[in-house]
Every structure is written in structure tokens, then in C-alpha cells.
């Protein structure tokens, strides 16, 4: 009988004899592989923490005791052991289980996280809440070694170590973040083989000294003092002890004979403790062990071969952006590229192959990445910072204070702008256009297709100030590409179609959907103009004025937050121009966190497809005729009238 099927909560796990745990772990890996190969997900990291998760749930009394998973994309085993096995096949699907921890999903999920480096801070907040409320439960944070490059993790450890409260941090050390770890902290941790040598040497030395009559004990005390100095030279623990944590380890994270007694013992220790556990990404599945970067967050794949189930027919927007960057870098030695532990994800591994000395991977340190770029730009370089939209949020102050105030020529390549599908709430790139357009000196643009993207790359790198270009996740449209990138006039949009009744002013991936909607509207007698905004900032106010004076209805479309975004910019312009008599509608993402689901489905839900745009225009026209509002997906979502909890299911708690 399957052991996993008998577990409906951690209490059931405690009824299984520990000598059965290896068999249980094999079943868990089989379940994870079965589901992720079908739906995609974070495979390598989850296969690496199976034993550690089992050990923690066995030794702790959850949910009274709290486990915080930093990033939480490695919590699949945690989900399987906490009552979600029967729903596990819905992982990352619309209306199904999140690929991350979600407090709204289970009482065993203590903190929502999708960004690395948040775990220790959140967990220590729980420690202090426990102390304030006079409670006695345990708080454990599992943090990856890659997250130690995040300044926030070190800030939190500095705080926790200084206050000295009972707190266990488990360092899951697999020598990887998403890409291979970089920097001095990674090199420091990689001394583990020396640490093992040191441990054996210490044990043998103590045994030898104890065997010497009379002088053995004094010599042992002297050796203890020397040990403190030697430990800092050869054992990767002094850093943590200087931060106020008692260091234990390193231990094998896949060996229950080591894990169980060690976890049991460290949970009894007082004060802050760091347990250093060595794991292997992808353990149990050979393709994932060979290529942990690709299997960090992979699409559906053929299990037998490890190859993608589907191969893209066209290059991705990411690939087009990097290909353009490489072309431009061949002619300009000042161009350098910066990534924050996302070399493969942002496509910069292609740039690195041609220009290995001009690629900087700074680790999970987006704030440093942006200010580092500012320093480069201040000395005449042309740095390109490539980040996912959701991760650029972490460096907002640096973009404002360190780049824009000095008008430095830093290019921001904002990947995964807009809806990103199955990673859901914490990863949708909803806010970048809104939070960048109000920053003085910043140029903000988004291409309608891949050909325009290459030209925008050239525009950014030629501009004498900060500039950003955002592009979506997924394959390109397949349009004809010009031979070489060429700079666009900054702040100049384009009219794709003239019209006398309605103006659809769109930006980014919504432009061609607006064009298709216009063709349908024309068939019903509504002469419809289509404008490709290109620039959120500076906005082409002259073009908007020319178009708006010819029509009665203006509808803006963007795959970003409505509040403060592109549509808001257009309405501000119309107000400044005195064109307030026009009937207007802003289509975009509403004021709530968007749930997980396929991009096409989410675009349909929020009225951002050709059909949705068409329906919104028809409703706007009908509203003027009848004086009554007409419901469509687009205008209901825009008004906030369509509540996600009621209409779409609730990623935040159904």
C-alpha cells in the first residue's frame, strides 16, 4: 500500500516508522515528477528538499509550530504532507493549488512568498510575535543558499542574532539559486568539504589528547581556543556565528540518520541557530540533476527524455531582446549587461557566450544591480539591467534615487511584463508601467511586436538618460524583422488605422488585439482608429490630440494596472487638452492581485482580447444611447464591479 496515500496531515506522518521514510520519499518524488511533467513547475528545487521536508514535519508540531519557506517554490512536498495530495494534480492551474505557499490555501502555509530573501525577515517577525504573546511554539525558516546574496536575508539575520530569541534557520545549500550561485558568500559556503575534513580532524585530535595522562585536559582546553581561530579559516560557520547564530553543520540533507537526530537536537537549543544542510537539486531524476537550471521552472516535459513536451515555433520576446542587445554590443564596447541570478531566464546566457567579460551576475540582489548599473553609467558605460517586471519592484528606490535623479543612461529590460500565467499573484508584471511613468527623466516604452522590440532596444541604448522597455512572456508574433535595429523618435507613437467614430489607443501586446477589434467594429459601421502608443512616457500628446479631435469615443488598452498606467496618462492628456467631452474607457488589469492561469484565459477574463475590446466599445456606445451601463468583462473588471472572489474563483482564498 502507498505510504503517501495514508498521509492526510503531518499527524499521519508521525505514525510511520522512520525506517520507512526513504520509501515515502521515493513515492513523493514519483508524485512530483508525475504532476510537474504534465503541467510544468519548479522541479529541481522540490526534488532536492524531500527528505528535509519530511524530517521537519516529523519533528515539528505543525501548524502550531511554524515553517516559513523562503521563496516557497520548493514547498511541493510540504503541500503533499499537509492535506493537499488529492488536489496536487491541479498545481499551478487556473483555480487549482498555487505553485507557492499561500496562507489562504492552507493553515500550514504561514507566509505567502514568491521572491527570494523574504523568509528570514518574515519568520523572525513571527518569533517576536510569539514572544509578545507569551507563546512557546517553534519557528523555523528554510532559506536557500542563493538567498544569502539577498541583502534582506543578511539584514534579518543581523537583527535576529542581536536579539537572541529562540529561532531556527535552516540553510538549504545546493550551490544554486536559479542560475549557479556567484560571489564571495557562495565561495565561502562551498568550503563544506573542508568543513567535513575539519570535523574529522577535531574528533581525532580530542581522542588523542584524552589518551595522554595528566596533560591531556589542559592541552584540550588550549586546542579549544585554537579551534575558534581555525574554524574561521576552514569551516563555513564563522560568518553566522559573528551574526549571533550558533552554527551547526554541514550535514547531509538526504540521509535520515543525520537529519532526524540533528533536527531534533537543534530544536532543543536556545537562541538563534543556523543548521547548514547540503542537498542536491533534482535528486532522483537524472535530467534534472544534469540540468538543474532548466528544471528550476520548467514547462511540461516528456518524462522519459526530459525534453519539452512542446517546442516553440517562434523565438520568444526574451530571445529577440537579447539577440538585439548582442548586435548592438558588437558595435559599442560601452554596453554591458547585468542580471540578478537570472542569466538563463532573462536570456543573457546568450550575451555571456559572446561577451563573457561584459556580463555581470550579481546574485539575488536587484537593489545592488540597479545602483551598480548607475555607477557604471556615471563613468561612461551603457549598462543594461535585465530583470523580470516582478523583480524590478524590489529596486524601485534605486531606479528613482540612484538612476533617474542623476539622469544616467541605464537601460531597463523589463521581461515578463504583464500576465505571466501559472506563477500567479507574485509574478504577474502588472505594475511596471504605472510605477515608472511618474519618475522624472524615465522613458517608458512597450513594443507591439518583436520587430518594434529590436528598435526599442536601440532607442534605449542611444538615449542619453534612463530608459525602459517592457516585453511579455511567451513566443513572438512571427512578424517580418528588419535587418538591423534602428532608433525610434523618443515619444512618438503611430497611427495604424484611421477612424472617425472610435479611437483605440493601445500599447504593447494589446495593440494587435485592438486592431482586430477595430476590424469587427468597422463591419458594424463604427469607423475605428487604432493608435500604437509605443511610449507610456513621454506620451505622444500631439498624436493623441489629432486622433481624439476626430472621434467621439476613446478607449485605451494595456496589459498592466489601470491605476496610474498608460490609460491614466492618456486621460490626463485629454484633460490637459480640454477634450473632456469625449466618452472614454480604460481597459487594463483591475485593482486586485491577478490569479494564476494561462495567459490567453486571463486575457479573456479581463477583457484584453479582441473580443473583450470589441465588447467594451459596443457597451460604451450603447451606454451613451440608452444612458444605462452595459455589462462586459472589460468594463466590469475595470470598474471593480466584477469581484474576483465571486466571478473567477479565488486564488486568495476560495
User: Grid cell 479573456 — which residue?
Assistant: 604
* Contact call for residues 326 and 354 (beta carbons, < 8 A): yes
What distance in Å separates the CA atoms of residue 284 and residue 40, rounded to the nearest whole number?
17
Least Cα distance to 172 among 153, 193, 145 occurs for 145
SS3 442: coil
Instruction: Kindly give the pairing relationship between strand 528-532 and strand 494-497.
Output: antiparallel
Q: Is 246 a catalytic residue?
A: no
For the chain, give percent helix, strand, coil, nearest 5.
45, 15, 40
**Which residue reads 525558516 in cell numbers?**
141
Got the DSSP string for 263-306? HHHHTT--SEEEEEEE--TTTT-HHHHH-TTTTTSB--B-TTT-
Question: Under DSSP, is residue 69 helix (H, G, I), strand (E, B) or coil?
Answer: strand
| Helix extents (H) in 379-449 | 389-392, 396-397, 432-437
Nearest to 619 by CA among 644, 639, 589, 645: 639
Q: Which residue has the cell 533536527?
A: 263
Please pick, among 79, 281, 534, 605, the residue that the annotation labels catalytic. 281
d(CA 603, CA 504): 17
Three-state secondary-structure class, residue 463: coil
Which member of 394, 534, 585, 644 is catalytic?
394
Q: Would you call 55 exposed, middle or buried from its count of C-beta atoms within 10 A (0-12, 13-18, 19+)? A: buried
Q: Contact 379/370 with Cβ under 8 angstroms?
A: no
What are the b/e assignments for 213-237, b being 16+ CB within 10 Å? Answer: eeeeeeeeeeeeeeeeeebeeebbb
The answer for residues whose C-beta is within 8 angstroms of residue 610's C-beta and 6 or more apart is: 513, 514, 516, 517, 520
Can 281 be counted among the known catalytic residues? yes
Active site residue 138: no
Of 105, 366, 450, 559, the catalytic one is 366
CB 271: neighbour CB atoms within 10 A?
Answer: 14
> DSSP assignment, residue 236?
T
Give the active site residues: 281, 366, 394
Amino acid at each position: 500500500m502507498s505510504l503517501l496515500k495514508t498521509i492526510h496531515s503531518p499527524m499521519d506522518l508521525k505514525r510511520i516508522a522512520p525506517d520507512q521514510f526513504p520509501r515515502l520519499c521515493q513515492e513523493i518524488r514519483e508524485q512530483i515528477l508525475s504532476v510537474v511533467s504534465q503541467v510544468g513547475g519548479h522541479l529541481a528545487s522540490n526534488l532536492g528538499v524531500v527528505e528535509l521536508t519530511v524530517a521537519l514535519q516529523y519533528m515539528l508540531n505543525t501548524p502550531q509550530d511554524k515553517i516559513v519557506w523562503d521563496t516557497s517554490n520548493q514547498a511541493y512536498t510540504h503541500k503533499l504532507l499537509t492535506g493537499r495530495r488529492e488536489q496536487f494534480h491541479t498545481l499551478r492551474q487556473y483555480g487549482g493549488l498555487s505553485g507557492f505557499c499561500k496562507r489562504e490555501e492552507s493553515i500550514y502555509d504561514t507566509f505567502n512568498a514568491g521572491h527570494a530573501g523574504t523568509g528570514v525577515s518574515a519568520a523572525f517577525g513571527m518569533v517576536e510575535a510569539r514572544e509578545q504573546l507569551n507563546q512557546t511554539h517553534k519557528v523555523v525558516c528554510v532559506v536557500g543558499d542563493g538567498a544569502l546574496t539577498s541583502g534582506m536575508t543578511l539584514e534579518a539575520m543581523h537583527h535576529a542574532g542581536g536579539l537572541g530569541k529562540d529561532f531556527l534557520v535552516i540553510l538549504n545549500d545546493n550551490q544554486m539559486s536559479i542560475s549557479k550561485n556567484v560571489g564571495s558568500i557562495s565561495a565561502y559556503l562551498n568550503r563544506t568539504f573542508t568543513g567535513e575534513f575539519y570535523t574529522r580532524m577535531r574528533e581525532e585530535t580530542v581522542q588523542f589528547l584524552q589518551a595522554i595522562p595528566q596533560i591531556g585536559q589542559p592541552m584540550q582546553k588550549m586546542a579549544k581556543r585554537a579551534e575558534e581561530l581555525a574554524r574561521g579559516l576552514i569551516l563555513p560557520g564563522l560568518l553566522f556565528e559573528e551574526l549571533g547564530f550558533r552554527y551547526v553543520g554541514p550535514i547531509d540533507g538526504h540521509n535520515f540518520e543525520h537529519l532526524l537526530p540533528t533536527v531534533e537536537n537543534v530544536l532543543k537549543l536556545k537562541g538563534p541557530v543556523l543548521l547548514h544542510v547540503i542537498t542536491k537539486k533534482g535528486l532522483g531524476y537524472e535530467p534534472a540533476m544534469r540540468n538543474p537550471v532548466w528544471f528550476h521552472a520548467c514547462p511540461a516535459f516528456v518524462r522519459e527524455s526530459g525534453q519539452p513536451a512542446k517546442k516553440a515555433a517562434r523565438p520568444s520576446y526574451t530571445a529577440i531582446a537579447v539577440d538585439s542587445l548582442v548586435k548592438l554590443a558588437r558595435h559599442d564596447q560601452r554596453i554591458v549587461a547585468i542580471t540578478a541570478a537570472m542569466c538563463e531566464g532573462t536570456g543573457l546566457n546568450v550575451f555571456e557566450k559572446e561577451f563573457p567579460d561584459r556580463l555581470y551576475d550579481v546574485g539575488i540582489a536587484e537593489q545592488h544591480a540597479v545602483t551598480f548599473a548607475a555607477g557604471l553609467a556615471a563613468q561612461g558605460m551603457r549598462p543594461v539591467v535585465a530583470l523580470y517586471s516582478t523583480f524590478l519592484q524590489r529596486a524601485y528606490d534605486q531606479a528613482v534615487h540612484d538612476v533617474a535623479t542623476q539622469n544616467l543612461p541605464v537601460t531597463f529590460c523589463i521581461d515578463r511584463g504583464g500576465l505571466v500565467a501559472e506563477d500567479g499573484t507574485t509574478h504577474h508584471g502588472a505594475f511596471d508601467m504605472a510605477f515608472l511613468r511618474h519618475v522624472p527623466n524615465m522613458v517608458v516604452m512597450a513594443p507591439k511586436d518583436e520587430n518594434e522590440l529590436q528598435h526599442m532596444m536601440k532607442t534605449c541604448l542611444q538615449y542619453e538618460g534612463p530608459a525602459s522597455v517592457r516585453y511579455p512572456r511567451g513566443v513572438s508574433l512571427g512578424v517580418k524583422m528588419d535587418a538591423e535595429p534602428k532608433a525610434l523618435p523618443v515619444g512618438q507613437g503611430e497611427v495604424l488605422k484611421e477612424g472617425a467614430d472610435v479611437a483605440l489607443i493601445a500599447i504593447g501586446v494589446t495593440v494587435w488585439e485592438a486592431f482586430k477589434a477595430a476590424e469587427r467594429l468597422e463591419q458594424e459601421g463604427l469607423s475605428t482608429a487604432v493608435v500604437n502608443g509605443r511610449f507610456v512616457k513621454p506620451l505622444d500628446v500631439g498624436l493623441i490630440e489629432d486622433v481624439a479631435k476626430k472621434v467621439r469615443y476613446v478607449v485605451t488598452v494595456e496589459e498592466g494596472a489601470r491605476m496610474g498606467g498608460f490609460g491614466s496618462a492618456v486621460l490626463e492628456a485629454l484633460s490637459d487638452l480640454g477634450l473632456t467631452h469625449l466618452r472614454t474607457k480604460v481597459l487594463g488589469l483591475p485593482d486586485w492581485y491577478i490569479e494564476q492561469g494561462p495567459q490567453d484565459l486571463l486575457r479573456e477574463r479581463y477583457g484584453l482580447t479582441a473580443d473583450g475590446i470589441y465588447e467594451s466599445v459596443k457597451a460604451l456606445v450603447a451606454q451613451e444611447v440608452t444612458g444605462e451601463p452595459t455589462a462586459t468583462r472589460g468594463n466590469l473588471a475595470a470598474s471593480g464591479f466584477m469581484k474576483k472572489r465571486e466571478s473567477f474563483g479565488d486564488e486568495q482564498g476560495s
